[in-house]
């Protein structure tokens, strides 16, 4: 490889528009987000001192470029934020190569019934954030917890590392009785301190427009729309193996974001839709696991075969493919 720093943009096989533009939910204030995939040269892939998964630091741009290997791993795990890239329609594609076309042709290999768990799980993480923010919005904590409020000395007598390990096992049987109450108080203080820190971070970093919307609606409408968007995508994937973009129910999702439904209605709809996923799971034609063996073969073919838009993956020179590289002979 030439003496230059590896730039993922030089090895893109795909880049497309994502976010609200892709979903059909863009407003005049919406950002323009893109994400892409690159296939690094072979010398980067096999370099034991070169580690690259994703680049997301682009000045003034909301943009990410994933290493193909990382991308395929996330897709095989049915990661909602990444898997959707395989369904970006032509009008939202900024850049693509034959390698990307080959990958999309085989996107069914990534799918499994795990779609239900990943999409519903991610959706309900949004719901938990809605509930947490609403609690802070309605009844915010009024002060930073102090150790003396929990009848604790200023200097801890129990190490945090040991406390954390104990919390993982929750085995108090091995602790002398005189220390159990002290441990419980330390844990209660630690939990209260964490909640305070999370609240302060949320309050400090809130987007002004989003804060105004939340104060008007009484909950985070953006999280609510993401909740049902994820469940919509998950349902279609489970039943058809496809995601349609722009989303056919984009207007409904926008109405959720804008507060057409109350907080109580949001909770009820989410609970009902979660229950329906059990039926959709049973009806799904998807396999129980992705075809990882076929995905490995596809990856090897893409890495070692003819690709890179005529840039050799071994010597980084244009004009020949990797299997024709002079350095091999």
- Give pTM, 2 decimals: 0.77
Q: Contacts for 296-304 with beta carbons within 8 Å, 24 or more apart?
A: 298/102, 298/103, 298/106, 298/109, 299/68, 299/69, 299/72, 302/39, 302/68, 302/99, 302/102, 302/103, 303/39, 303/42, 303/45, 303/68, 304/42
Which fold, 8-112+290-328? Beta Polymerase; domain 2 (3.30.460)
Structure tokens at 49: 């001192």
**pLDDT surpasses 50 at 3:** no
Could you tell me the CA-to-CA distances from 85 to 56, 90, 167, 234, 294 in Å, in that order?
16, 11, 39, 14, 20
At 317 the pLDDT is 66
* Residue with more model confidence, 135 or 326: 135
- CA 171, distance to chain mean position in Å, is 33
- How far apart are alpha carbons 14 and 36 in whole angstroms? 5
Domain boundaries, the chain: 8-112+290-328, 114-283
Placement of tokens 């993982």 in the chain: 168
At 190 the pLDDT is 87
At 163 the pLDDT is 59
**pLDDT surpasses 60 at 137:** yes
- How far apart are alpha carbons 53 and 217 in whole angstroms? 39
At 188 the pLDDT is 86
- How far apart are alpha carbons 239 and 148 in whole angstroms? 56
**pLDDT surpasses 80 at 150:** yes
At 308 the pLDDT is 41
Most confident of 121-130, 159-168, 303-312: 121-130
At 100 the pLDDT is 96
pLDDT bracket for residue 171 (50, 70, 90): low
At 306 the pLDDT is 47
Structure tokens at 295: 């995905």
**pLDDT surpasses 90 at 250:** yes
Percent of the chain with pLDDT over 90: 51
**pLDDT surpasses 60 at 47:** yes
């Amino acid at each position: 490889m030439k003496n230059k720093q590896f730039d993922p943009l030089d090895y893109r096989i795909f880049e497309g528009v994502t976010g609200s533009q892709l979903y059909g939910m863009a407003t005049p204030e919406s950002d323009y987000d893109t994400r892409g995939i690159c296939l690094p040269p072979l010398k980067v892939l096999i370099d034991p001192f070169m580690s690259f998964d994703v680049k997301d630091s682009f000045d003034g741009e909301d943009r990410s470029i994933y290493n193909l290997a990382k991308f395929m791993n996330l897709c095989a795990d049915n990661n909602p934020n990444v898997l959707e890239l395989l369904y970006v329609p032509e009008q939202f594609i900024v850049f693509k190569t034959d390698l990307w076309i080959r990958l999309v042709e085989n996107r069914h290999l990534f799918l499994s019934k795990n779609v239900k768990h990943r999409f519903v799980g991610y959706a309900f993480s949004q719901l938990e954030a809605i509930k947490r923010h609403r609690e802070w919005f309605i009844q915010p904590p009024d002060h930073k917890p102090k150790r003396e409020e929990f009848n604790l000395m200023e200097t801890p007598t129990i190490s945090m590392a040991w406390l954390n390990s104990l919390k993982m096992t929750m085995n108090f049987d091995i602790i002398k009785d005189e220390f159990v109450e002290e441990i419980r108080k330390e844990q209660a203080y630690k939990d209260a301190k964490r909640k305070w820190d999370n609240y302060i971070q949320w309050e400090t970093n809130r987007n002004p427009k989003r804060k105004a919307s939340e104060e008007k609606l009484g909950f985070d409408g953006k999280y609510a729309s993401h909740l049902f968007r994820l469940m919509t995508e998950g349902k279609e994937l489970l039943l058809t193996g496809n995601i349609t973009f722009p989303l056919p129910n984009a207007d409904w999702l926008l109405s959720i974001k804008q507060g057409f439904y109350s907080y109580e209605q949001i909770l009820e709809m989410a609970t009902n839709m979660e229950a329906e996923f059990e039926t959709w799971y049973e009806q799904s034609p998807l396999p129980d696991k992705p075809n990882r063996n076929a995905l490995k073969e596809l990856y090897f073919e893409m890495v070692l075969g003819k690709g890179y838009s005529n840039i050799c993956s071994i010597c980084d020179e244009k004009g020949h493919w990797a299997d024709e590289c002079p350095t091999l002979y």
